[in-house]
Amino acid sequence: MPPRRPMTPTVVRLWRRIAGTLPTEIAQRQARREGRILRLDKYAMVLAGAGLGGVARYAVGTWIMSRYGGRFPLGTFVINVTGAFLIGVLMTLFLERLAPHPYWRLFLVVGVLGGYTTFSSFEYEAYQAVRGGARLTGLMYVAGSVVLGYVGVWLGALLAARR
């Protein structure tokens, strides 16, 4: 098929009188609309993942606390450490071994793990422990979460980097 010649100003004016809009203007509008849809798709991926992660956090946390209750917030502790491990695995796989579509990172890391891990809950529970007079429990909780969370990220990255 031969290349298209650009429309002359006379043809453009005539086309606008008949159709109202040039085909190129229609295509540009469509592309802008699709661009907005793509940006919304990113938010939808995060939203869907966060919903799943939040449900998983609730299920795991309540299951652990129903079996191993006590003053120490073990449910949140386990969630944060396993979440740290999983982010180590996923980010290493995504950045070093695989080349998945960027939406997978949005869905799994930002969405699922963002909804699953509970840093704000962690901070509040540490505050409550200290405020309630259990300073040693609060200190152990903070130190253990940070140290074991880091170990979780390190082990996850190490595991995912293996070939």
Tens digits of residue pLDDT in 9-28: 665 565 556 555 555 666 66
Integer Cα distance of 84 and 89 in angstroms? 9
Q: What is the pTM of this model?
A: 0.64
Q: Using one digit for the tens of pLDDT, what is the confidence trace for 135-145?
A: 999 999 999 99
Residue type, 60: V
Domain boundaries, the chain: 40-161
Instruction: Answer yes or no: are the C-beta atoms of 160 and 88 closer than 8 Å.
Output: yes
- What pLDDT is stored for residue 35 in this prediction? 63
Q: Using one digit for the tens of pLDDT, what is the confidence trace for 74-124?
A: 999 999 999 989 988 998 898 888 888 989 999 999 999 999 997 777 888
Integer Cα distance of 115 and 106 in angstroms? 12
Mean pLDDT of 125-144: 92
